[in-house]
Amino acid sequence: MIIRGKADNNKKDGKLVYFGPESNGDITQLKLPTSSTRLVDYEEHGFSIEYFFTFDGKRLSLSMMTVIRVTNPNGITTKALTELQIPKVMQELVYSYNPSLDISARRKDRTTEHLVQAYLAEYACSGSPRRAVIERTGWSRSNANFHLKKLAKAELIPASSE
């Protein structure tokens, strides 16, 4: 799977929107465009899809997808459709606009800013925010829950029912 951004497919992303708690020196807000297009080549399945995403300031959502090219002589199989990995495309979009989220460079980083950013990035893509925090910190689920409750009480992250 090859994900191409705005520069690769000559489409412009929309106006940038900042989200998360107001910047107060301790926490840098994340940003995403109000609309964005990504072209994904699924070479292993023989087709390409163009995704159009919108961001409402809290959640990124898939608004439209269009099959651009089919090179597989058998067409698009149902197996291929179940392997689109749309959440991975959404994460790539969030991380491309917020390079400070790079998990490989931030492993075991437990500052408030990085916890909030990791949580909000996954929350924006309707992912698993708690799991992102656990993976980033190496904490147990109960320890992560304890810290996430503190962050929610401080209104740095949305209260979670996850």
Query: What does the pLDDT look like over 120-154, one tens digit per residue?
Result: 999 999 888 999 889 888 899 999 999 999 999 98
Q: Is the pLDDT of residue 89 over 90?
A: yes
> 161: phi > 0 → left, psi -120 to 50 → alpha, else beta; which?
alpha
38, 50 Cβ separation under 8 angstroms: yes
Name the nearest CA neighbour of 109 among 129, 139, 88, 130. Answer: 139
Q: Is the pLDDT of residue 1 over 80?
A: no
Entry pTM: 0.82
Provide mean pLDDT across the span 72-77: 88
Beta-bridge partners for 18: 31
Tokens 């909030």 found at: 116
Query: What does the pLDDT look like over 39-51, one tens digit per residue?
Result: 999 999 999 999 9
The kind and range of the H/E element at 115 are helix 112-124
HSE of 80, CA atoms in CB hemisphere, 13 A: 17
